[in-house]
Amino acid sequence: MTGSWRLASVSLLSFSSGLPLGLVWIAIPTWMKQEGVDIRVVGLFTLAQAPWSFKFLWSPLVDRYALPFLGRKRGWMLLSQAALLLLGLWLAGVSDRPDAVWVIGAVALATALASATQDIAYDGYAVEVLRPEEHGLAVGARLAFYRAAMLVAGGWAITQAAATSWRAVNVMLALLYVPAMLVTVLAPEPEERQPAPQSLRQAVWEPFVGFLGQHRALEILAFVVLFKLSDNLTQALIRPFLVEVGFGAFDVGVATATIGMAAMLVGALIGGAMTQRLGLGRALWISGFLQIFSNLGYAVVAEVGVNRPVMYAAQAFELGTSGVGTGAFGVLLLRLTEKRFSATQYALLSSLFSVPRVLAGPPAGLLADALGWRDFYILTVFLGIPGLLMLQRFVGWSEREPVFHVAEPRRGRPVTVAGLLGFSALAGGAALLGGWLAAAGLSAVKGYREAGVMRLGEAAAALLRPAGVGDWIGVVGIVLLALLTAMATAAALVARRGLVSSR
């Protein structure tokens, strides 16, 4: 009985974890597009997902400090769920004012922050409470409930809002956190209590820098980021795409809340089961190929226009293969995580896994604007190749299980503070230049598609003189890319070589 309730509680709590993402990633961008908001601003709204990708920054607090109720992880889960309930009611209060775009954006960002904190505690709880033989079944069940919640908060919400109002929908979504809070209170504690880190420094240093310093750690992280890059670019603006093609709110909602949801749930269960029957390595290869080529269905939709059977088939195929890939990858994350640092390490890996999804919105909007929807979805097929190349670095098709930690790390000569700043600035500058040239190229391609003239120089110069909101969004995105590249370079250097004071 204990085992069944342990597995059931982990599965049920995944529903509470998926609700906010469905709202922030699916429903709100579609709502804004229906209200006539510029597609580039809609793309900016997807950045409200940023807390899910950067949750590792405060995850050590969950490992280090326990709230005075419900144990080390469940207390944080209950507090986050209460915050999500209140934020959902606040969003309902401003739902009659879709013109207040930035207020809605602020609520969406706060919702993502509370949800990311819930995910930190919940994922750590799952790592601690589950037994190894339960991982495959648990991952399939977790993904099924998680995706079901996403599509309730996304597809169902879109359809229901067309029939009633966004105010009523947001109230109903907020009230769904009440039963989740009850499950949290009744969920069992882990059989083995893991000792908490003795200091915040230990909670931060050992799981973060220790992981980065391991052999091939940077390749592992690159693989985590790239494996679903194509998939996330495809899904970043899929609902606004369907709206722009000409489908109504009912069509968009039905596609995601019925056919798409069923396909994704079945895919998630298949992905988890494949790791048990075929091995994790083969499951990753199969899902990697499927999730790339399934993107072509949307290119067909863009070409044929409003055609319900074609659109439903494209949704079912793409979301089903996405579920297979996520199911296989979920097993990988559980196996890579140490129980002692369950919240921090799982947050790090899952955050990096979600980076392409969070950062995909703005470039997807720019690419679709420059290339058109059909060519954009064709391009996503080629953008999936780097993930498969990284997979080949770790496991061949004939291998059942990937082995990541195969040697002791090789320590280089410690870097000075001046050297650290220099390398980081060089990497950030290269990213800034690359982002500027890429944005200029997209703008030039758009001009060629519309007027038959390619003016790369004029497009590059125009980026230095942003005029409207869309132009400023592009500039901010390039600067953020440069800053993230510089910080990542600094973290990797410190982890692998150490830091000494300048003399």
Mean pLDDT (the chain) is: 76
> Do 176 and 83 fall within a single domain?
yes
The answer as to whether 459 is a domain residue is yes
Instruction: Name the 3-class secondary structure at 140.
Output: helix
The answer as to whether 196 is a domain residue is no
> Do 477 and 329 fall within a single domain?
no
Question: What are the two backbone dihedrals, phi and then psi, of residue 500, each rounded to the nearest 5 degrees?
Answer: -125, 155
Q: What is the pLDDT of residue 83?
A: 93
Give the mean model confidence (pLDDT) for residues 131-149. 74
Q: For residue 411, give Cα distances in angstroms to 414, 427, 490, 492.
A: 8, 21, 15, 12
Please indicate whether residue 202 or residue 475 has the higher confidence score (pLDDT). Answer: 475
| Cα–Cα nearest to 40, from 364, 462, 445 | 364
> Do 12 and 106 fall within a single domain?
yes
> Do 292 and 424 fall within a single domain?
no
> Do 309 and 420 fall within a single domain?
no
- Residue with tokens 């494209």, as numbered in its chain: 314
Q: What is the pLDDT of residue 85?
A: 93
Q: What is the pLDDT of residue 96?
A: 74
Residues 318-340 have pLDDT tens digits of: 888 887 877 777 666 666 654 44
The answer as to whether 211 is a domain residue is no
Q: What is the pLDDT of residue 225?
A: 73
- Residue with tokens 């699916």, as numbered in its chain: 26
> Sign of the CA dihedral 103, 105, 106, 110?
positive
Q: What is the pLDDT of residue 182?
A: 93
Q: CA–CA separation, 483 vs 486, rounded Å? A: 5
Domain that holds residue 9: 2-187+216-394
Confidence band of 133 (pLDDT split at 50, 70, 90): low
DSSP per-residue letters across 252-289: HHHIIIIIHHHHHHHHHHHHHHHHHHT-HHHHHHHHHH
> Do 386 and 451 fall within a single domain?
no
Q: What is the pLDDT of residue 503?
A: 47
> Do 243 and 309 fall within a single domain?
yes
The answer as to whether 259 is a domain residue is yes
Confidence band of 178 (pLDDT split at 50, 70, 90): very high
Please indicate whether residue 101 or residue 27 has the higher confidence score (pLDDT). Answer: 27
Give the mean model confidence (pLDDT) for residues 387-393. 81
| Cα–Cα nearest to 101, from 228, 109, 494 | 109
Residues 44-84 have pLDDT tens digits of: 666 777 787 777 777 777 777 778 777 778 888 899 999 99
Look at the chain and report how many structural domains it folds into: 2
Confidence band of 373 (pLDDT split at 50, 70, 90): confident
| Cα–Cα nearest to 121, from 83, 150, 78 | 78
The answer as to whether 195 is a domain residue is no
Q: What is the pLDDT of residue 179?
A: 92
Residues belonging to the chain: 503
Please indicate whether residue 315 or residue 467 has the higher confidence score (pLDDT). Answer: 315
Q: What is the pLDDT of residue 475?
A: 77
Check pLDDT > 70 for residue 201: no
> Do 21 and 74 fall within a single domain?
yes
DSSP per-residue letters across 10-50: HHHHHHHHHHHHIIIIIIHHHHHHHTT--HHHHHHHGGGGH
The answer as to whether 252 is a domain residue is yes
Give the mean model confidence (pLDDT) for residues 105-116. 87
> Do 338 and 261 fall within a single domain?
yes
> Do 138 and 83 fall within a single domain?
yes
Please indicate whether residue 452 or residue 185 has the higher confidence score (pLDDT). Answer: 185
Please indicate whether residue 148 or residue 203 has the higher confidence score (pLDDT). Answer: 148
Q: What is the pLDDT of residue 87?
A: 92
Torsion of CA 148, 150, 154, 156, to 10 degrees: 20
Question: Of 365, 394, 423, which marks where a domain is finished?
Answer: 394
Return the percentage of the chain with pLDDT > 70, whole number. Answer: 74
Give the mean model confidence (pLDDT) for residues 142-170. 81
Cβ(103)–Cβ(15) under 8 Å? no
Question: What are the two backbone dihedrals, phi and then psi, of residue 412, each rounded to the nearest 5 degrees?
Answer: -90, -175
Burial 92-109 (b: 16+ CB within 10 A, else e): bebbeeeeebeebbebbb
- Residue with tokens 């869309």, as numbered in its chain: 470
> Do 491 and 382 fall within a single domain?
no
Residues 208-243 have pLDDT tens digits of: 665 665 556 667 777 777 777 787 778 777 778 888
The answer as to whether 374 is a domain residue is yes
The answer as to whether 408 is a domain residue is no
Beta strands in 53-124 (DSSP E): none
- Residue with tokens 């400023």, as numbered in its chain: 472
Confidence band of 461 (pLDDT split at 50, 70, 90): confident
> Do 354 and 438 fall within a single domain?
no
Confidence band of 353 (pLDDT split at 50, 70, 90): low
Provide the CATH number for the domain around residue 19. 1.20.1250.20
Torsion of CA 59, 63, 69, 75, to 10 degrees: 30
